Amino acid sequence: MIIQMAGLPGTGKSTLARALATELSAVVLDKDDVRHALFSTAVAYTRDQDDFCVRLLFEAAAWLLDHGQPMVILDGRTCSRHYQVDQVRDFARRHA
């Protein structure tokens, strides 16, 4: 199962994701953690960098789900654009 946290910055997505992960034995994959790990000296809050990090989250989530992790929480994206919601929906269908 995939849970996608969505909402404006500073609204508690990460706090809720961590609480859910504890209660549901889920893994949280945070886009901002990936961004800072990969681009620590070159963080750019661009759509290209954002989309790249999310593609990596999807890859990691797929691997986890395929290897027995029953639930993954994706965090760090507002999902304010239609294509972002479509990406999550398509991913969830493929990994249901």
pLDDT of the residue at 96: 79
CATH number for the domain including 13?
3.40.50.300
In this structure, what token pair is assigned to residue 50?
């954002």
What whole-number distance in Å separates Cα of residue 71 and Cα of residue 37?
A: 23
Range of the domain at 45: 2-94
Residues of the chain with pLDDT under 50: none
**Cα atoms in the 13 Å half-sphere on the side-chain side of 45:** 5
pLDDT of the residue at 34: 96
Under 8 Å between Cβ of 74 and 51: no
Domain count, the chain: 1
Beta strands at 72-75 and 2-4: parallel, antiparallel or unpaired: parallel
